[in-house]
Amino acid sequence: MKVSILTTIAKNKKVDRIVQWTAKDSGKLNKDNKPITNLQTLKKILPPVAVAWYTGFYIVNTATSKKIPEERKPIFITNHILTGILGIAGGYVLSDGIDRFSKTLINRFEKINTQISEKNIVIKGLNSMVPLFAYVFTVRFLAPIIATPLADKVYNFLVKNNLLKTEQDKK
């Protein structure tokens, strides 16, 4: 007799409570006056929380690294902070824009694919991917492009106004 790991996880009481909680209504209504589930709320909240979380890991890793020269650490840390902030803000903006676009895409998909039985699963998957795509795109592509030159300018400003000491100043 085989015991599937997924079956074991699915029968777990804690997992069942989490699934039941995500399916419950959060008490809020969306634009169409339909109840919003906790899962829908989590899909909007989790990407920025994840961005903030791993940005913190990058900052700590950079600050404690022995391979990075001390004079470069403030620039890198500033870059991580700006990338996190721009990633979260850009993710919200891009997610909202893609959300509008995906609604028209889903409407077209429903009209074209009337024969597919799993159509609702595909639509739910597309809706779940919108915030994830937006945050991954902004954090991994757009934010570093904007944050890198900005971090250099912030670092130079801090040094120029004696808010941060360089290695030459310490000697």
pLDDT score recorded for residue 93: 85
Condensed to tens digits (0 to 9), the pLDDT of residues 109-163 reads 777 766 766 777 777 777 777 777 788 888 888 888 998 899 888 888 888 888 7
Cα atoms found within 13 Å of the Cα of residue 65, Cβ hemisphere only: 17
1 has a pLDDT exceeding 50: no
**Bigger pLDDT: 154 or 39?**
154
Which helix (DSSP H) or strand (DSSP E) does residue 35 occupy? strand 35-37
CA 99 to chain centre: 15
pLDDT score recorded for residue 170: 61
Its sign, for the CA torsion 156, 161, 166, 171, is positive
Please name the residues in contact with 33: beta carbons below 8 A apart, sequence gap of 6 or more: none
Query: Are 38 and 24 in contact, with CB atoms under 8 Å apart?
Result: yes
106 has a pLDDT exceeding 60: yes
